[in-house]
Amino acid sequence: MYQILKKQKLNPFVTLMEVKAKDVAKNAKPGQFIILRVDEKGERIPLTIADTDIERESVTIIYQIVGLTTKKLDKLNEGDYLLDFVGPLGKPTDISLLKDVLVIGGGVGSAICLPVVKALKLQGSKVDVILGFRSMDLVILEDEFLKYSNNLLIVTNDGSYGKKGLVTDYLSLYLDKKKYDQVFTVGPLIMMKSVCEITKKYGQKTIVSMNPIMIDGTGMCGGCRITVGNEFKFACVDGPDFDGHLVDFDEAIYRNKMYQEIEREKDCRLLKNE
Amino acid sequence: MNRRVEMRVLDPEIRIKSFQEVALGYLPDEAKLEAERCLECKNALCIKGCPVGIDIPSFIKQIKEGNLKEAYKIITKQNKFPGICGRVCPQETQCESKCIRGKKGEPIAIGRLERFVSDNVEIDEEELPTIQYEKVAIIGSGPAGLACSGELAKLGYEVHMFEALHVAGGVLTYGIPEFRLPKRIVKKEIDLLEKMGVQIHLNTIIGKTKTISDLFNEGFKAIFIGTGAGLPKFMGIPGENLNGVYSANEFLTRLNLMKAYNEEYDTPIRKMKRVIVVGGGNVAMDAARCAKRLNVEDVTIVYRRSEKEMPARLEEIHNAKEEGINFSFLTNPIRIIADENFNVKEVECIRMELVDTGNGRAKPVEVPNSNFFLPADTVIMAIGNHPNPLISSTTQDLKVNDHGCFIVDDNLMTSMENVYAGGDAVTGAATVILAFSAGKKAALSIHKKLRGINE
């Protein structure tokens, strides 16, 4: 059992949770993820590690309430326990040789970018950050990104905060000025796809972090398979980071919808039981 | 006397509506009657057919005399898990294939008798071992790990077993379905290990949560790797990433481990009407029979060789047929075709013929221009597994062969001092009994090494 040490709402749909998990905390690196199960009848879901604290023996996750499991998860409070919490899974994001990086986060994907931005800053790299949200009330982690980036641009779709529009509306302004060692982007699949289409035109190397449906996270189920440059990859063990110019996003978008209909039915049941 | 005593099974009509165990086992009278058929051969060939050399005629003799405790003792000298092996061993290619009775009729039903003993014996409370030796780590709680743990605990070691998933048992838990191997049987064995002092650490992935060197730093003196072969193979044909294509591992894990067949559990499984399962082994049978139990009308097993060559247990093929599963032999999928929403719509197949290559197993080759289409909304790939590279890729000194299997010496020690491996992780996908046997062998090697015993 894994105790929840802290729970904090970052916006109406996104929550931060610090969970006690000593061994995971000790070995986790930026870009890796965990798999958790809320209760005995729950499913296993992957969530990216947002932070770790070795002294507190804790791992921080940030999740958006999107389906049945995140809804159940959000019902738990500080002091409660998660049934299962396993990791760190996947390969860490490789930042060792990077000196100048542009990071683009979308919505809750921004949370996944934060540990990478932090690690880059700590190794002395320059980091520009663009974050996109639907509106002002959904903006998260602004202070943290201000602290660890050299330059932060926030974009909201409705213009209620920062610049108005989509992150991709501003991307070219950055790429026109210079070539980065790497662009790193995490967000909705459709956003990552659009970012990659633009960076490809510039010949700008771009890494994306994929978060497909999976069960075990160790390569056993094969449910997380994606196509990368006509090759077959398991996101859980070969990724989650991949060369964004080689990822078949259309396929990934379809695969992520595999259980949408069933999820909706199960959701209704949860509501009925309440 | 030429025919074996039939074993009671659940009626096919009833069993396809539940995940209850199909084979019901012998009643005491039936077991005795079947045991009476045994000729107690002096030079018993059945023993040679058993991968672990159980003294089969002797345990059967004890059944004849109604002495189950003694029978159990004889079996467990070689195999600690008769309840599991009696259910999942391919007896018809092992012990039963050598039985002299089989020459003129049906061989003795050794597997059924083994299971009968395990299910009906009352085990005396054994004296629990006291820990007197070092800490040993067991990686993986499947058949190899269970056997290794039990043996080492009995010898007096402090045994810690590490499991990646949230339940112990490995393939016995996530892979083999409830209707073939009830989870209570597996749990009974695991509970027994815990009672013997084995500490089980769930949710711990060695290679990720901790590494091999972490374990040595924590004071473990020897390590056994029994991580099995759990990485699913795919065919490499177009359309395998479509929605509706599962690896058998994923399909079975969703059902067995995550209980997707039970509405109360959150894990989803697709709604299916027409399922194609590719493969001819036990896993293919398991997947097909699971699909049938989800109220799927049309389940077809597609296999590239003929029925004769199918590696599945005879009993499972028989059960699958009884349950209304269709078979398309000498057939191989070459392409999976999508509907407009990226879902599986049909599978293009080609006919195969068997060509004798002169060196054993006939080779299937495509019959030109024999393509045809099978409608399907779900395709399950049950064509085998590779060993998982999680540990080998994070442990430089551990040597593996071209198939990703650990390279071990005669004592099952790997290229790293005091790190042992056994079961599917060494041999590639094989049987439960061979993994049990390897786990036990590794335990004895570890004991000799740590105690400095020379042969």
Say which residues have a Cβ less than 8 Å from residue B270's Cβ, sequence separation at least 6.
Answer: A258, A259, A262, B243, B244, B377, B378
Calculate how close chain A gets to B430, using CA atoms only, in Å: 17
Q: Residue A261: its pLDDT value, please?
A: 79
Q: Quick check: is A167 in a domain? A: no
Q: Which residue of B has its CA nearest to A25?
A: B209
Output the CA–CA distances (angstroms, integers) from residue A117 to A14, A207, B189, B402, in the order listed.
20, 14, 48, 38
The pLDDT-based confidence of A274 (bands split at 50, 70, 90) is low
Q: Quick check: is A84 in a domain? A: yes
Q: Quick check: is A154 in a domain? A: no
DSSP codes joined into one string, B200-225: EE-S--BTTTB-HHHHHHTTEEEEEE
Q: Which of A81-85, B138-142, B216-220, B358-362 is least confident?
A: B358-362
The pLDDT-based confidence of A270 (bands split at 50, 70, 90) is low
Print the domain residue range for A30.
2-89
Give yes or no for residue A268 having a pLDDT over 70. Answer: no
Cβ–Cβ of B267/A43 closer than 8 Å?
yes
Q: Which residue of B has its CA nearest to A92?
A: B208
Strands B378-381 and B274-278: parallel
Whether the CB of A169 is below 8 Å from some CB of chain B: the reply is no
The pLDDT-based confidence of A230 (bands split at 50, 70, 90) is confident
Q: Residue A262: its pLDDT value, please?
A: 79
Q: Residue A208: its pLDDT value, please?
A: 97
Q: Quick check: is A71 in a domain? A: yes
Q: Quick check: is A210 in a domain? A: no
- CB-count burial class (<10 Å; 0-12, 13-18, 19+) for A211: buried
Q: Residue A216: its pLDDT value, please?
A: 93
Contact (Cβ atoms closer than 8 angstroms) between residue B150 and residue B445? no
Segment A211-224 mean pLDDT: 92
Report the distance separating Cα A241 and Cα A30, nearest Å: 11
Q: Quick check: is A252 in a domain? A: no
The pLDDT-based confidence of A273 (bands split at 50, 70, 90) is low
Segment A174-187 mean pLDDT: 95
- Can you name the residues that pair with A15 across neighbouring β-strands? A9, A63
A3 token code pair: 């105790």
Q: Quick check: is A49 in a domain? A: yes
Q: CATH code at A71?
A: 2.40.30.10
Q: Residue B388: its pLDDT value, please?
A: 87
Q: Residue B75: its pLDDT value, please?
A: 96
Q: Residue A271: its pLDDT value, please?
A: 62
The pLDDT-based confidence of B455 (bands split at 50, 70, 90) is low
Please count the structural domains in chain A: 1
Whether the CB of B238 is below 8 Å from some CB of chain A: the reply is no
Q: Residue A272: its pLDDT value, please?
A: 62
Q: What is the mean pLDDT of chain A?
A: 93
Distance between first and last Cα of chain B: 46
Q: Quick check: is A201 in a domain? A: no
Find residues 40-69 of chain B whose CB sits inside 8 Å of chain A: none
Mutate to test the interface with A, among B141, B162, B163, B166 (most CBs of A within 10 A): B166
Cβ–Cβ of A44/B258 closer than 8 Å?
yes
